[in-house]
Copies of this chain bind each other. A is one copy, B any other.
Amino acid sequence: MDLEKSPLALPFPDMPAIDGVTLRVARAGYKNWDRADLTYAELAEGTALAGVFTRNVCCSSEVEIGREQVKAGRARALVVNAGNSNAFTGYRGREAVEQIMAQVADSLGCDTSEVLVSSTGVIGVPLPKDKARDGIAKVLSESPASWEDAANTIGTTDTFAKGATTAAMLGDTRVVLNGIIKGSGMIAPDMATMLGYIFTDAAVEPAFLQQCLSAANAGTFNCITVDSDTSTSDTVLAFATGKAGNQPLASFDDPGADAFMAAMEDMCRQLAHLVVRDGEGAQKFIGVSVTGAASDDSARRVGLAIANSPLVKTAIAGGDANWGRVVMAVGKAGEPADRDKLGIAFGGIWAARDGLPLPDYDEEPVARHLEGREIDITVDLGLGDGKATVWTCDLTHGYISINADYRS
């Protein structure tokens, strides 16, 4: 299946090298693709590790093992297999992961707990051990690859390579954060998974790196949805090599910690938005801002009820300022809401306030806003101070074509 590049794609940014990170790619041949499908990142000794994972209880062995590795907090290498998610494969799948960990640990002279593995692709087929073994042997002898190579290699049916870069001043030390990511919910038949990797040369203690990643995750990756379907393998990992030479960050009391946290949040938001921009069949990028909720959590749940509503998403696809469907989605969220206090705006123009359509509401500028690629929906619940923004894409014929017309 040849997918057209998303109309919401962004160009791949110029990403600087990160001291302590070496990337390599190779072709293991998990699928009959004519391109690299195995990504390897070698990390300097002492690199700190943090991670957040899917909450899907049918998760892969990679995710189960990764959760334990993150507790230890140190990484020397990352391996990403594309074309086979190795999920729902039981002990055979687990053996394949353990073999990769042992092979890489052996070559680096490190502990297997420091070798992270992710896999993405078909569910239910154990990762072939022979292909993995030969692929790892090959990738270890490859010359270094670029960030764009790596971003392309971790992809499955992604329509563009996704990367982001940002920086922060920690006192006098400038640190860089680079990230690559793949996926868009479950972008294509049998191809599950969002996988994201963030690399920085900053010196950060593992526990604090985890704290920053978890905090940034809440308002970014946990606030995007393409189709409400949670993959069995979603993973975001952060690696801090410490090569920038700053005083290691261990808590928010340390100088520069706030700047680092802000950079981490910026990085996660950029990567999360890139996933939505490659959503299945996406033609429009939609931001849903909810204010006046009982709490921030409540605002987020109302936002997700709107962003997951097939009727809201098809209305936006059709350029239809159908605020009745937004009312419906607010009402079904199961969160505190009062019909008679509700306000709804598209592109900053209020269509309804205090539970009533505005008499002088002019649909003309709203219709123009909905013709664009970037759509803003604002809902004010008029109850409290809770607020949140979530992001999604529209629901189009492209989604059906990708997921129904193609047979696995």
Closest chain B CB from A184 CB (angstroms): 12
A338 to B344, CA, bound (A): 42
B339 touches A88 (CB 8 A): yes
Closest chain B CB from A60 CB (angstroms): 9
B317 touches A404 (CB 8 A): yes
B56 touches A331 (CB 8 A): yes
Which of the 9-residue segments A149-157, A226-234, A249-257 touches chain B? A226-234
Which of the 9-residue segments A4-12, A199-207, A239-247, A319-327 touches chain B? A319-327
A328 touches B56 (CB 8 A): yes
B311 touches A123 (CB 8 A): no
Chain B residues with CB under 8 Å of A327's CB are: 58, 87-88, 123-124, 232
At the interface, yes or no: A399 with Cβ under 8 Å from chain B? yes
B314 touches A400 (CB 8 A): yes
Chain B residues with CB under 8 Å of A352's CB are: 88, 124
A357 to B329, CA, bound (A): 38
At the interface, yes or no: A309 with Cβ under 8 Å from chain B? yes
A58 touches B328 (CB 8 A): yes
A332 to B232, CA, bound (A): 8
Chain A positions 360-408 with a Cβ under 8 Å from a chain B Cβ: 394-397, 399-401, 403-408
Among B123, B228, B318, B332, the residue within 8 A (CB) of A403 is B318
Which of the 9-residue segments A98-106, A185-193, A212-220, A265-273 touches chain B? A185-193
At the interface, yes or no: A36 with Cβ under 8 Å from chain B? no
Closest chain B CB from A303 CB (angstroms): 16
At the interface, yes or no: A82 with Cβ under 8 Å from chain B? no
Count contacts on A: residues with CB < 8 A to the other chain. 66
Give A327-360 as 1s and 0s: 1 = Cβ < 8 Å from B's Cβ atoms: 1111110100111101000000000100111000
Chain B residues with CB under 8 Å of A334's CB are: 55
Chain A positions 74-113 with a Cβ under 8 Å from a chain B Cβ: 87-90
Closest chain B CB from A104 CB (angstroms): 26
Chain B residues with CB under 8 Å of A339's CB are: 57-59, 88
At the interface, yes or no: A195 with Cβ under 8 Å from chain B? no
Closest chain B CB from A317 CB (angstroms): 4
Most buried by B among A186, A232, A315, A331: A331
Chain B residues with CB under 8 Å of A87's CB are: 324, 327
A318 touches B88 (CB 8 A): no
The 9 closest A-B pairs by CB, nearest first: A123-B324, A58-B331, A314-B403, A56-B331, A230-B332, A314-B404, A318-B404, A317-B404, A227-B310
Interface residues, chain A, with chain B CB atoms under 8 Å away = 55-59, 87-90, 122-125, 186, 189-190, 192, 227-232, 308-311, 314-315, 317-320, 322-325, 327-332, 334, 337-340, 342, 352, 355-357, 394-397, 399-401, 403-408
* Known A56-B328, A59-B339, A186-B325; further 5 A-B contacts with Cβ < 8 A: A88-B342, A125-B357, A232-B327, A317-B404, A318-B405
